[in-house]
Structure 1
Amino acid sequence: MLRSPLNLLLILLISCATVHSHLHAKTLNVVGMENYPPFSFEQDGKMIGIDNEVMAEIGRRIGLDIEIDYLPWKRLLAHLKYGSTDAAFALFFTQERNEFALYADIEPIHDGAFYLYVKKGSEFYFKQVSDLYNKKIGLQLAFSVSEAFDRAVEEKKVDILSAFSNVNNIELLLADRIEAFIGHELVTGYNLRNMNVLNKVTRLSLPVSEKKAFLVLSRESKTFADKASLLNKINQALIEMKADGTHQKIVDQYLK
């Protein structure tokens, strides 16, 4: 059957609109660490957190749909390494991770200090890693703290008990399974308040390390061919978010 010029024009417009929609709807699949409040966690069946909201705002600014999932830390690293996800938050820089991750490293997605936490009344002197030799320390699985600390662990100078989460570390400490644990100041403070045990745990005064955590892209992911361009857009979005106060506004709403 012959089609009228008007029908052909209508078909052409619909086809163009469909293609345009598909181009605009490209999705960046991102994984974050589960049970890591206030950065990434679930509440009332919803995935929320500082990093979650920052990531969503980055997507809005660079014109990408963002699909976020939460995983245990070791699985997150494996997904990133083998290209099962496009991106992940939030990683500290290490040479090993740099082999499979591309860092949006102009601005961190978050930063902060890691401290030692002990039971109240069980404080000990800490100034350097050697002060932890022969002590039983709780540390989340696959966490990198600092070059000096990681080396001491590898050389078995520090006795590590691996924990599944920051909450698990708190539980191990209160059960006298460990002498101390290493935790991010914001994450640990958030969990101690929620568990109503602030009066039972003390933070030692000096940080074990102070680090910046970054959004990264998987080198193995095939979703985006021009990863350099995508990294530039992400970096620029983070720069703008910090300059216009959006990033701090997101942080503040979780730290009230």
Structure 2
Amino acid sequence: MLVRYCCILLLLVSTAAAGVVGNTDTRPLHLLTLMDFRPFSWCEDGEVKGADQAIIKRLFARIGRPVTLECLPWKRALSMVESGSADGLFAGYRTPERERFADFLAKPLHYSKFKVFVCKSAPFPFEQLTDLHGRRIGLQLGYSVNPQFDAARASGKVDVQEASDTYSGLGMLMNGRVEAFIGGEEAIWYAAHKMRRQDELLMLEQPLHPARPAYLMLSKAAPIDDREQLIDALNQALEQMWQSGEVEAVIDRYVAAD
């Protein structure tokens, strides 16, 4: 009788344990990204391209979880993550507003750094913002650099010439229409390689703001049953990818891609 009771108890415990494992969410996560933020993310013939998507695919392969990727306009993507109609997006800056509706991984997918680029044939010293005063500076349309630069621009201390995109901005620099071009470090090197003019370019060392991390965000409203386990697994895997140099290697490959 005792043996029979123990067998029944063991069966019940085993069934309960199997139920916990069976409840693990293995459906593909639906992640959104930007339409055009090269070299980190862009869409080409409906397919997501870029360094961030390559890192995401490697990251989810490490934890054995399927994932689907889609490009959308940024505001719409944020709205879908907030409502839970998408599981997450990449790569976003961490802000108090976004922390209300999204969980962030411990490590970023990449860092964004705004730098000053000049022609190798016409360099100038740059240690502080006043070194840009009185100069013609190229900047992509709609971009804000930092509060100090924006104030100098508004007061006329810096003569900003706007470019429609990174390629046209570099063209302005190479043609002598501006003395420097400001933008994201990786984005400018990517465009310069595509134009095959990277050897004419010099990046000045001083950044215009501290490196800003950009993260994978997971929607708090999305029905992710194994959220805590998933985030733990992703954090461990991404930490390993940073420690091994895999993340930097992927980014470098996309920056220098022909």
> TM-score interval w.r.t. the shorter chain?
0.5 to 0.7
Could you tell me which residue of structure 1 aligns to residue 27 of structure 2? 25
| TM-score for the superposition, normalised by structure 2 | 0.66
In 2, are the aligned partners of 1:36 and 1:187 still within 8 Å (CA)?
yes
Per-residue deviation, residues 7-64 of structure 1 (Å, max 9, x unmatched)? xxxxxxxxxxxxx7x9522322221352512x33467885433211110122223443
Give the superposition deviation at 1:154. Answer: 5.5
Give the superposition deviation at 1:80. Answer: 1.5
Could you tell me which residue of structure 1 aligns to residue 90 of structure 2? 89
In 1, are the aligned partners of 2:115 and 2:182 still within 8 Å (CA)?
yes
Percent identity reads 28
**Distance in 2, Cα, partners of 1:141 & 1:102:** 31
Per-residue deviation, residues 88-122 of structure 1 (Å, max 9, x unmatched)? 33334455655665432x22212364320124444
How many residues are matched? 229
Per-residue deviation, residues 150-176 of structure 1 (Å, max 9, x unmatched)? 343157245555555432432343455
Flag the 1:201–1:144 CA change in 2: closer, same or farther, 3 A: same
Per-residue deviation, residues 170-225 of structure 1 (Å, max 9, x unmatched)? 23434555442223333322321220223443322323234143323265753437
Could you tell me which residue of structure 2 aligns to residue 13 of structure 1? none
Could you tell me which residue of structure 2 aligns to residue 68 of structure 1? 69
- The one-letter amino acid of 1:236's match is Q
In 2, are the aligned partners of 1:101 and 1:216 still within 8 Å (CA)?
no
Greater Rg over alpha carbons, structure: 2
Could you tell me which residue of structure 1 aligns to residue 201 of structure 2? 201
Flag the 1:49–1:82 CA change in 2: closer, same or farther, 3 A: closer
- RMSD (Å) for aligned C-alpha atoms: 3.9
Structure 2 residues not aligned, in runs of 5+: 1-21
Could you tell me which residue of structure 2 aligns to residue 150 of structure 1? 147
Correspondence 1:34-73 to 2 at 5 A: 34-37=36-39, 39-41=40-42, 47-71=48-72
**Distance in 1, Cα, partners of 2:134 & 2:180:** 12
- The one-letter amino acid of 1:66's match is V
Correspondence 1:132-147 to 2 at 5 A: 132-133=132-133, 135-140=135-140, 145=145
SS at match of 1:209: coil
Flag the 1:115–1:220 CA change in 2: closer, same or farther, 3 A: same
**Distance in 2, Cα, partners of 1:162 & 1:201:** 19
Correspondence 1:1-256 to 2 at 5 A: 23-32=25-34, 34-37=36-39, 39-41=40-42, 47-71=48-72, 75-81=73-79, 83=81, 85-94=86-95, 102-104=103-105, 106-111=106-111, 113-133=113-133, 135-140=135-140, 145=145, 149-153=146-150, 156-157=154-155, 158=158, 160-161=160-161, 163=163, 165-174=165-174, 176=176, 178-217=178-217, 222-224=222-224, 230-244=230-244, 246-251=246-251, 253-254=253-254, 255=256
Flag the 1:172–1:81 CA change in 2: closer, same or farther, 3 A: farther
Flag the 1:174–1:99 CA change in 2: closer, same or farther, 3 A: farther
Structure 1 residues not aligned, in runs of 5+: 1-19
